[in-house]
A = this chain, B = another copy of it.
């Protein structure tokens, strides 16, 4: 965001109340090349946030001189990151210029979600379009870690090949493992629902993907889900969004004031472990009484069907099993309906805590919660409404429209951040992208 954009933004009521955002002092020398790449990133972010516009308008809005702007746009175009299209008549005095747009044909990010029973991949280009997507069922708990990583690497390589054949460069890979992440080590410290401990995912995957592996980072599924959902809601002017993942584990991804809130060491949103079960069931994390033991997928399946029921069969794809349960609810099956009511009650208690703490504009229910949105949304909305203290500031409750793909999509979007941070990472070597 540029200085001028920031200034304009302060005129909105929500932002004028915003207080001192004081960055930690990080003085230091900045050389010419760093400045140039930073300003190129600034232009890319401006285009992403505000859409295509002319060089003259970009110059006026960013405060960069027209000469500098022309040089930077030329550089970005040579790297295949922007392209010039139709006439832009808005925003500046004088003759209209050609619109500069983000170019989606050169680079993309890839996201990978390793879940308990599926592996999901997505590739998103610089212009924000999803260009590849796949979901593969897998029974992770029955496989060795090695077998799972082999499978992931082979799926990734297949997608990388297909993307590279189309002339795009993969700038980075964000992998979301189903467990607690050790960010510094690039490892899963502990995956309670899989029994994984201290698995160095980044190095193991790099090795398996081979010498052409893009840089790999790990990120939590709920945070990535929030990023993906936010990309679909930001155009509505929503700046405060809470995403709730609904799986065996339950986590929250928090977007506040337009920014992903990670917490100081990356452990924000660990809401599945809030102490909300009065009966204090044992949780995989070692604590007792965790919220996910009463609202997670395992709790729902346990409530909805007896042990020998087909919906517990891990060899059937989860989506099929959820369809079975949804059909039962539609047919008026009392046990399924009662299970949904119980889940709704527990969900409401936890969500109302999150509303008190964060005051989000939108709450997006993901995972299996989204699947049963037609049963959950109304009573949950009523429960939140009943507890609301202040008028006119309730959260809008919606279900994810991205389904199982949200984590992978968010991972792809996050991987692309590298380009916005430093566009010069993408070389100027000429390739002929196929449109």
Min C-beta distance of A321 to chain B, whole Å: 29
Whether B390 contacts A267 by the Cβ 8 Å rule is: yes
Residues of B within 8 A of A6 (CB): 38
Q: Is A231 an interface residue, CB under 8 A from the partner?
A: yes
Distance from A54 Cβ to chain B, minimum over Cβ atoms (Å)? 12
- How many chain A residues touch the partner (CB < 8 A)? 114
A224-247 vs B, Cβ < 8 Å mask (1 yes, 0 no): 100100110011111110000000
Q: Name the contact of A38 in the complex, choosing from B7, B189, B261, B360 (C-beta under 8 A).
A: B7
A413 interfacial by beta-carbon distance below 8 Å? yes
Minimal Cβ-Cβ distance residue in B for A286: B389
Q: Report which residue of A6, A9, A23, A421 has the largest number of chain B beta carbons within 10 angstroms of its beta carbon.
A: A23
Contacts of A359 in B (CB 8 A): 262-270
B230→A7 contact, CB < 8 A:
no
Residues of B within 8 A of A1 (CB): 21, 23
Say yes or no: is A361 at the interface (Cβ < 8 Å to chain B).
yes
Contact A275-B42, Cβ < 8 Å, known A13-B183, A27-B50, A260-B21: no
Indicate whether A64 reaches chain B with its CB closer than 8 angstroms.
yes
The segment from A28-36, A99-107, A366-374 found at the interface with B is A28-36
Residue A434 at the chain B interface, CB threshold 8 Å: no
Known A3-B38, A264-B360, A266-B359; contact A234-B26, beta-carbon cutoff 8 A:
no
Q: What residues on B are CB-neighbors of A413 within 8 Å?
A: 19-20
- Which of the candidate stretches A199-207, A347-355, A397-405 sits at the interface with the other chain? A347-355
Count of chain copies: 2
Which residue of the partner chain, among B22, B254, B357, contacts A48 with CB atoms under 8 Å? B22
Using Cβ atoms and an 8 Å threshold, which residues of chain B touch A231?
Answer: 20, 22
User: Across the two chains, which residue of chain B brings its CB closest to A361?
Assistant: B264
Is A110 an interface residue, CB under 8 A from the partner?
A: no
Docked pose: A2 CA to B35 CA in angstroms:
10
The reply to whether A41 and B7 contact each other, CB–CB distance below 8 Å, is: yes
* Min CB gap A4→B, angstroms: 5
Which of A18, A53, A359 counts the most B-chain CB atoms under 10 A from its CB?
Answer: A359
In the assembled complex, which residues on chain B have CB atoms less than 8 Å from the CB atom of A60?
Answer: 29-30, 35
Interface presence of A70 (CB below 8 A): no
Question: What 1/0 mask marks residues of chain A from 61 to 104 whose CB sits below 8 Å from any chain B CB?
Answer: 10111000000000000000000000000111000000000000
A262/B266 contact (C-beta < 8 A), A3-B38, A25-B49, A26-B9 known: no
Check B257 against A259 for contact (C-beta < 8 Å): yes
List the B side residues contacting A217 at CB < 8 Å. 17
Which among A10, A17, A60, A65 has the greatest number of chain B C-beta atoms within 10 A? A17
Q: Which of B29, B37, B38, B223 interacts with A19 by CB under 8 Å?
A: B223
19 A-B residue pairings within 8 Å (CB atoms): A3-B35, A4-B35, A7-B30, A14-B262, A18-B259, A19-B224, A19-B260, A20-B414, A23-B258, A25-B235, A26-B50, A29-B90, A189-B390, A256-B268, A257-B262, A266-B359, A270-B359, A275-B349, A285-B389
Which residues of A are in contact with B by a Cβ distance under 8 Å? 1-10, 12-14, 16-30, 34-35, 37-39, 41-42, 48-51, 53, 60-61, 63-65, 90-92, 180, 183-184, 189, 217, 219, 223-224, 227, 230-231, 234-240, 252, 254, 256-271, 273-275, 285-287, 349, 352-354, 356-361, 387, 389-393, 410, 413-414, 416-417, 420-422
Q: Given known contacts A20-B231, A189-B390, what 16 new A-B pairs fall within 8 Å (CB)?
A: A3-B42, A4-B34, A4-B38, A8-B30, A10-B421, A17-B219, A19-B224, A20-B413, A22-B258, A23-B49, A23-B234, A24-B238, A261-B261, A263-B359, A265-B392, A287-B389
